[in-house]
Amino acid sequence: MQIEEMVKKFVQEKLEMIMREEIQNFLQNEQEEGQNSRNGYYQRILDTRYGRMDDLTVPRDRNGDFQTALFDPYQRRDGWLEEAILTLYQSGVSTRQVGKFVEKMLEGNAYSAATVSNITEKVREDIVAWQNRPLKGDYLALYLDGLYFSVRRDTVEKEAIYIVLGITLEGKREILGFFVGGRESANGWRSILEELYQRGVQRVLLGIFDGLSGLEEAFKTVYPKGDVQRCVVHKVRRTLSFVRKKDQKEVAADLKTVYRAHGLNEAEQAFKIVKEKWGKKYKREIQAWENELPLLLTFLKYPKEIRPFLYTTNMIERTIKEIRKRLKTMNSLPSIEAVEKIVFLVSKNYNEAWTSKTTSGFHLASEEIYTMFYNRYDPIS
């Protein structure tokens, strides 16, 4: 006997033993004496992660009231298959490829792409509940970023996926929400922020995002007491794209002296040196830095222990990178709903992984963070 058959036989024996214990407990403790009794067994098929059981023996009672807790009356699988399908789908495997996988696992019982899609469609209810769940009220920062992906709606076009990640005063991370569709715009972001505000996110110290036109005003409309931090990493990348290749390394090192300074005065002095050195050769680029400097150096107002997390959107970009990787293998998605399923499953996994994790540095800066917060927002009695 092959090892797979031995394992399946062992599991079947254990399942049958559990059901015998279940019906015995049911008749002894949940039925009046003499009103019900055993009535033999019946055999049924159950697909499990260990293989198909064609002759699982299930006990039954005379009144037909007993139901095992191991599976529902008409259930033909123990739940593992749906979990596997969702995991594969989340990983970027197409519904057609998932169907082929199921066919191999169930010894020739094929699942069409439509059937697999129906299983993943069950996630829709979870998405609606997740997108409407109440949220905490107080956040140190909101990170706003997005990506584009090809979606088929009659024709294939690039559409935006907006994602908001929050970090609490205690340093806990959470993807608060996402929106799929259209072109990225400040108005789109404002609508998303207004929705988050209605769901509970009403006091925020800092918004961190790139230089999308109008985004600062959109953020300040919803959170007028919040600071704005432009992503320094995005700014450096954009600047270097206009710098001659032979100068890029040196310009990058000089700009680093600005945003790696210990304080605002030191950063401003460092920028003066950069301006004197490169202002004539790259006048437009250095002028852009000077115009945006207050928004690029906002993070220096915050405790030094957490500054590495505040001057860039890198924290949310890791999440976006994972979503992009999951979507990439699919080339283009058949609908907005299909994209939402992927983004939701990835977001859910991240949030579950972050539940017990605190971002480093926050425990050292805790007192200073709370002082800043309550100097700006009155404590709730």
**Residues in a beta bridge with 328:** none
Residue with tokens 């037909």: 64
The two beta strands, 155-167 and 138-153, are antiparallel
The identity of residue 319, as a single letter, is T
- Written as one letter, the residue type at 154 is D
Roughly what angle, to the nearest 10 degrees, separates helices 113-121 and 123-131?
30
- Distance (Å, rounded) from C-alpha 250 to C-alpha 256? 10
Distances (CA, A) of 205 to 6, 337, 374: 60, 33, 10
| Alpha-helix runs per DSSP H in 199-244 | 215-222, 232-240
Question: What are the distances in angstroms from CA 60 to CA 9, 38, 43, 93, 108?
Answer: 21, 6, 10, 41, 31
Report the C-alpha gap between 25 and 17 in whole angstroms: 13
How is residue 313 written in tokens?
């959107």
- pLDDT at position 200 is 95
Q: What backbone phi and psi angles, to 5 degrees, belong to 31?
A: -125, 145
How far is the CA of 195 from the CAs of 132, 159, 198, 218, in angstroms? 9, 20, 5, 13
Q: What length does the chain have?
A: 381
- For residue 343, is it left (φ>0), alpha (ψ between -120 and 50) or beta? alpha
Give the sign of the dihedral formed by CA 108, CA 112, CA 118, CA 119.
Answer: positive
CA gap 222, 204 in Å, rounded: 10
Q: Using CA of residue 184, residue 190, residue 191, residue 195, what is the dihedral sign?
A: positive
Count of C-beta atoms within a 10 Å radius of residue 217:
11
Six-digit token string for 240: 């270097």
Question: Contact, 303 vs 121, CB < 8 A?
Answer: no
pLDDT in tens, the chain (381 residues): 565 676 677 678 877 877 888 888 788 877 777 788 888 998 888 776 666 778 889 898 888 888 877 666 655 544 555 555 555 555 555 556 565 555 555 554 545 555 555 555 666 778 888 899 999 999 999 999 988 887 777 777 788 889 999 999 999 999 999 998 888 889 999 999 999 999 999 999 999 999 888 999 999 999 999 999 999 999 999 999 999 999 999 999 999 999 999 999 999 999 999 999 999 999 999 999 999 999 999 999 999 999 999 999 988 988 888 888 777 665 556 677 778 877 888 888 889 889 888 998 999 999 999 999 999 998 764
- Where do the H-state alpha helices sit in 30-94? 80-90
Distance CA 231, CA 211 (A): 8
CB 239 within 8 A of CB 285: yes
Dihedrals φ, ψ of 78, to 5°?
-90, 10
